[in-house]
Amino acid sequence: MSNAIPDKPALEGLEPKWGEVWEAQGTYRFDRAAALAAGPDCVFAIDTPPPTASGSLHIGHVFSYTHMDLAARFQRMRGQHLFYPMGWDDNGLPTERRVQNYYGVRCDPSLPYDPDFTPPFEGGGTGKPAEQVAVSRRNFIELCERLTVEDEQQFEDLWRALGLSVDWTQTYRTIGDEAQRVAQRAFLRNLARGEAYRADAPTLWDVTFRTAVAQAELEDKEMPGAYHRVSFHKPDGGTIEIETTRPELIAACVALVAHPDDERYQPYFGTTVRTPLFGVEVPVVAHHLAQQDKGSGIAMVCTFGDVTDVVWWRELDLATRPILGKDGRILAEAPEGIEGDGLAVYAELAGKTVFSAKARMVELLRESGDLIGDPRPITHPVKFFEKGDKPLEIVTTRQWYIANGARDEQLRERLLQAGRDIAFHPDFMRVRYENWVGGLSGDWLISRQRFFGVPIPVWYRLDEHGEPTGEPIVPSEDALPVDPSSMPAPGFDEAQRGQPGGFVGEVDIMDTWATSSLTPQIAAKWEDDPELFDLVFPYDLRSQGQDIIRTWLFSTVLRAELEHGTIPWKHAGISGFIVDPDRKKMSKSKGNVVTPQGMLDEHGSDAVRYWAASSRLGTDAAFDPQNPKQMKIGRRLAIKVLNAAKFVYSFPVPDGEAVVTDPLDVDMLATLGDVVRQATRAFEEYDHARALEVTEQFFWTFCDDYLELVKERAYGSTPGDAGDRVDGQASAVTALRRAVDVMLRLLAPVIPFATEEVWSWTHDSSVHRAAWPTVDELGVDAAPSGLLPLVSQALIGIRRAKTDAKASQKTPVAHATIAAPLLLAEAAADLKAVGRIDVLDIQQGDEVAVLAIELAPTPEG
RNA sequence: GGGCUCUUAGCUCAGCUGGUAGAGCGCCUCGUUUACACCGAGGAUGCCGGGGGUUCGAGUCCCUCAGGGCCCA
């Protein structure tokens, strides 16, 4: 049954009220049977960003997820079957770090499982490593599971409050068994096709988290440093002076390099010099990446100080002389080449951190006279793990990689073609994808030396000496998911773990992106439910923020291309980000963070959604928490919708067939027809902001002018001055109700709560499953005649005359003369009624102008 | 250093394929009109970042410079 129209409609309470109804009625549920019957073309599938469960949702999430929901709601109303799941990215380092701090624990895989373990804190941890209790891997993972489940519930609550129309029966977790199965299956297939491989290579390494990290996770930070001018010794006794910011790595030096065109150093190419203090003989070589104008123009190459060192080392085939360990300290053993007195110097450094090794080296170089002058302070970009707080080091380790086109021209071209096959909204965002693909410098490193993640599903055979040998052992796909560190390799017994002739399990896990790059496959239950998969894949829309084009968007395209040879989705909607009033990216450190929940509580969900909807895709939105203008406007719109609709529904409903006959009513509907056309096209083009703008603009004209003009007639209180006034009341009310019905649906994607409330006053079903409005249903087969704007202008003229006279708008007018196109006469009666004009003369004229107006004498009072 | 993007009213932003500058907020004035005071009516406000070019005509197209932002080096 329809809801009663309240006396005082209000926005308060609509979110929980309708949230419960939608849930109870399954309004947003994916109707699989109907979708199957209708076929894939009638399915609209959305690949949703799984937010990091351990992070916090911020205003930018609300912004982008609302954009996604606008498209979803539009498509649903157009009759598409929505496959709109939601996932949580709960695996990975961010969760581990949060768990460490929250519970005050740290993982030590060598410890046994303690079934009765109670963490020292519940949300009160200090985050200081010294106060953390070491726990077994299994205990640690249990805590991760516990906390993410709690976090995810809060996320879901927020999304429901925001009114996202996702199907909550279709949720997934990137640490869940289904996701693990998909991730491991995809990996095994990559491995079988040779796209996944294991290699020893210089690897970017975070010494805090003790894990390898990938190119996509890098972040440059400007850091203070200092150039140290240091002498290298030529065989003839002379010196070559280099400048370096990392003198502590001199022991790792394997060459000096200068630009091939640099005349200063050309004579030395092919010769050797000896390193200071250590006396190691290293070649002087030429390479175009050496910068002539930087420092002294000649640099030392170490294994490895930065990524350029890696390039030189590889391309110039230099020696390997590593001195840094995975803990970020100088290795105990001196590398090959350091002998005699050099060993004593090295012993002074061994075990030191990079920081203290540098200090000691400077002292030693100063004593030996190899340091020229004082170090010269500079700031320079240093590579960091985006979640780390110490500079990355480069160490050589054995890691797993997935091919990404960096070393394969053909694959790269296929990925670029995939980018061209996807419709980016806005289009220019494709460039960021292309830049990223073009700039890849190595294959995708997916192994992480961490705990809470999807295990890499392989084991290694041990030879009779207990050394790993041969190809990795892989499980069969139907055994997935597997955990090689707790399950025996196929064909082996657990007792053979670590024994000669037995096996060992891979202990590394996959980077979280190696799983979340498969969200389309996970949500569609790839291989586990082929019918569903074929129905929804490839998806229609990927919606996300611009900041994760290089990670999530790229990696998803890559996995789909490798596994399916197709694009994962047809459209990519890219949201901008939120900037504060100073046009700076919003950040927590500014202290002006507004929690999304607080925002929803304060302004209401419709208002917040309006704010998001009024920004186009790809455009950054300014947000000032002190002055949230757009939200106030959105709130006003939602309230106005409630009130205007209530008003319209208060007019007596005419008996008999509803026919719109009055020219003004016809013109209003014809104008609305244009609005429907424009809004529909805008939504089709993922331009929700434009759809909202044209709809909203019409709505205010409807309220301020049309509704004012016809309300007397709609009450049935205008006697009328012509024969056609007999149906005037019926015409007005019919047109009013028809217009409201259409406008509610146009606005439903943006303000789902207010529109649903109003819709319920006259309908039994949800507006969100109603058909998107069409021009045909307006029943007006005409282009706008221009009557409505004409009357609006005339009305403004009358109002202005009254304002100028400082009179109330209610003041009667004895006589008014208006120049206007004669079309205006068609609405003369309405104009007279709203202006309280006794006698109205309309004279032919091109422009609307009030020629004369005579207010009736105001009664004393 | 390379790429992308933005620069229009005090503020936030529209201006689609070139044809006389728009909205909302804010501001000023007025109005207790039975939909709405979380209201209504009216009004003022622009070298459309600078310079050059194409064109009968340029916020709109081209070049260039400056500044902001983002991404990549």
Please state, in angstroms and rounded to a whole number, the distance separating the CA atoms of residues A767 and A760: 8
Q: Does residue A193 lie within 7 Å of nucleic acid chain B, judged by its CB?
A: no
Q: Does residue A810 lie within 7 Å of nucleic acid chain B, judged by its CB?
A: yes
Q: How far is the CA of A206 from the C1' of B2 (A)?
A: 28
Task: Return the number of other C-beta atoms located less than 10 Å from residue A758's C-beta.
Answer: 30
Task: Return the number of other C-beta atoms located less than 10 Å from residue A192's C-beta.
Answer: 10
| Among chain A residues 623-682, those with CB within 7 Å of any atom of strand B | 629-630, 632-633, 635-636, 639-640, 643-644, 646-647, 650
The closest of A19, A11, A306, A334 to A159, measured between CA atoms, is A19
Please state, in angstroms and rounded to a whole number, the distance separating the CA atoms of residues A207 and A200: 18
Q: How far is the CA of A703 from the C1' of B51 (A)?
A: 47
Q: Is the separation of the CB atoms in A586 and A622 below 8 Å?
A: no
**What are the counts of helices (DSSP H) followed by strands (DSSP E) for chain A?**
25, 30
The most confident of the ranges A21-35, A46-60, A104-118, A781-795 is: A21-35
Q: Is the separation of the CB atoms in A549 and A574 below 8 Å?
A: yes
Q: Is the separation of the CB atoms in A745 and A77 below 8 Å?
A: yes
Please state, in angstroms and rounded to a whole number, the distance separating the CA atoms of residues A341 and A130: 38
Q: How far is the CA of A675 from the C1' of B13 (A)?
A: 21
Read off the amino acid at residue A615. Answer: S
Q: Which residues have C-beta within 8 Å of that of residue A601, sequence separation ≥ 6?
A: none
Phi, psi angle pair for A509, to nearest 5°? -115, 170
Please state, in angstroms and rounded to a whole number, the distance separating the CA atoms of residues A585 and A569: 29
pLDDT of residue A590: 46
Chain mean position to CA A531:
29
- From its phi and psi, is residue A271 left (phi > 0), alpha (psi between -120 and 50) or beta? beta
The pLDDT mean for chain A works out to 89
**Residue indicated by tokens 């529109």:** A755
| Among chain A residues 687-716, those with CB within 7 Å of any atom of strand B | 690, 693, 697, 700, 703-704, 707-708, 711
Query: Which nucleotide minimizes the distance between its C1' and the CA of A645?
Result: B35
pLDDT of residue A721: 45
pLDDT in tens, A712-760: 888 876 544 444 445 788 899 999 999 999 999 999 999 999 999 999 9
Cis preceding-peptide flag for A304 (omega within 30 of 0):
yes
**Residue indicated by tokens 């025996």:** A488
Please state, in angstroms and rounded to a whole number, the distance separating the CA atoms of residues A360 and A617: 54
Extract the tokens encoding A196: 């996944």
Q: Is the separation of the CB atoms in A320 and A294 below 8 Å?
A: no
Please state, in angstroms and rounded to a whole number, the distance separating the CA atoms of residues A842 and A823: 10
Please state, in angstroms and rounded to a whole number, the distance separating the CA atoms of residues A642 and A467: 75
Q: Is the separation of the CB atoms in A151 and A144 below 8 Å?
A: no
Of residues A1 and A221, more confidence is placed in A221
Query: Which nucleotide minimizes the distance between its C1' and the CA of A615?
Result: B13
pLDDT in tens, A346-370: 999 999 999 999 999 999 999 999 9
DSSP 8-state assignment for residue A373 = E
Extract the tokens encoding A632: 């106030």
Q: Does residue A809 lie within 7 Å of nucleic acid chain B, judged by its CB?
A: yes
The closest of A686, A752, A753, A747 to A67, measured between CA atoms, is A686
pLDDT of residue A121: 84
The strand pair at A239-244 and A218-233 is best described as antiparallel
DSSP string, A658-685: ----SHHHHHHHHHHHHHHHHHHHHHHT
Beta-ladder partners of A468: A462
Is the pLDDT at A860 greater than 70, yes or no?
Answer: no
SS3 state of residue A820: strand
pLDDT in tens, A392-430: 999 888 999 999 998 899 999 999 999 999 999 998 899
Beta-ladder partners of A45: A83
Residue A96's H or E segment, with its range, is: helix A93-103
pLDDT of residue A717: 63
Extract the tokens encoding A30: 């994916």
Extract the tokens encoding A514: 């190696």
pLDDT of residue A595: 81
The closest of A47, A61, A106, A79 to A521, measured between CA atoms, is A47
DSSP 8-state assignment for residue A562 = H
Task: Return the number of other C-beta atoms located less than 10 Å from residue A759's C-beta.
Answer: 23
DSSP string, A106-148: EE-TTSPP-TT---S-SS-----GGGPEEE-HHHHHHHHHHHH
DSSP 8-state assignment for residue A330 = B
Task: Return the number of other C-beta atoms located less than 10 Å from residue A101's C-beta.
Answer: 18
pLDDT of residue A582: 65
> How big is the CA angle at A142 (ends A137 and A145), to the nearest 5 degrees?
125
CA distances from A32 to A169, A382, A526 (A): 12, 51, 16
SS3 state of residue A190: helix
Q: Is the separation of the CB atoms in A256 and A242 below 8 Å?
A: yes
Q: Is the separation of the CB atoms in A217 and A590 below 8 Å?
A: no
Read off the amino acid at residue A599. Answer: M
Q: Which nucleotides of B are covered by protein (CB under 7 A)?
A: 2-5, 11-15, 23-25, 29-33, 35-36, 38-43, 68-73
Q: How far is the CA of A424 from the C1' of B58 (A)?
A: 29
Q: Which residues have C-beta within 8 Å of that of residue A804, sequence separation ≥ 6?
A: none
- pTM value is 0.89
Q: Is the separation of the CB atoms in A752 and A159 below 8 Å?
A: no
Residue A70's H or E segment, with its range, is: helix A59-77
| Among chain A residues 769-808, those with CB within 7 Å of any atom of strand B | 795-796, 799-800, 802-804, 806-808
Q: How far is the CA of A697 from the C1' of B45 (A)?
A: 22
Of residues A591 and A838, more confidence is placed in A838
What average pLDDT score do residues A131-138 get? 87
Extract the tokens encoding A767: 């507006």
Please, what's the b/e burial string for A818-853 (b: 16 or more CB within 10 A of its CB; e: otherwise)?
bbbeeebebbbbbbbbbbbbeebebeeeeebebeeb
CA distances from A468 to A460, A461, A506 (A): 6, 6, 11
Of residues A57 and A672, more confidence is placed in A672
pLDDT of residue A127: 63
Please state, in angstroms and rounded to a whole number, the distance separating the CA atoms of residues A677 and A773: 9
pLDDT confidence tier of residue A589, bands split at 50, 70 and 90: very low
Phi, psi angle pair for A621, to nearest 5°? -115, 135
pLDDT confidence tier of residue A587, bands split at 50, 70 and 90: low
Beta-ladder partners of A52: A89
Is the pLDDT at A262 greater than 70, yes or no?
Answer: yes
**Residue indicated by tokens 């909203």:** A696
pLDDT in tens, A272-316: 999 999 999 999 999 888 888 777 889 999 999 888 888 888 888
Extract the tokens encoding A185: 């299956």
Q: Is the separation of the CB atoms in A243 and A397 below 8 Å?
A: no
Is the pLDDT at A447 greater than 50, yes or no?
Answer: yes
Chain mean position to CA A104:
30
| Among chain A residues 705-764, those with CB within 7 Å of any atom of strand B | 707-708, 711
pLDDT of residue A137: 87
**Residue indicated by tokens 């970020």:** A328
Q: Is the separation of the CB atoms in A31 and A69 below 8 Å?
A: no
The strand pair at A393-402 and A196-206 is best described as antiparallel
Read off the amino acid at residue A518. Answer: L
The strand pair at A849-855 and A813-820 is best described as antiparallel
What average pLDDT score do residues A547-576 get? 94
DSSP string, A385-444: ETT-SSB-EEEEEEEEEE--STT-HHHHHHHHHHHHHSEEESTTHHHHHHHHHHT--S-E
Of residues A110 and A537, more confidence is placed in A537
Query: Which nucleotide minimizes the distance between its C1' and the CA of A426?
Result: B5
Q: Does residue A571 lie within 7 Å of nucleic acid chain B, judged by its CB?
A: no
Residue A563's H or E segment, with its range, is: helix A554-564
pLDDT confidence tier of residue A172, bands split at 50, 70 and 90: very high
* Cα diameter, chain A: 117
pLDDT of residue A1: 43
Is the pLDDT at A586 greater than 80, yes or no?
Answer: no
Helix locations, A258-377, DSSP H: 307-315, 341-349, 354-368
Task: Return the number of other C-beta atoms located less than 10 Å from residue A325's C-beta.
Answer: 17
pLDDT confidence tier of residue A593, bands split at 50, 70 and 90: low
pLDDT of residue A726: 57
% of residues, chain A, pLDDT over 90: 55
Of A109-113, A458-462, A522-526, the one with minimum mean pLDDT is A109-113
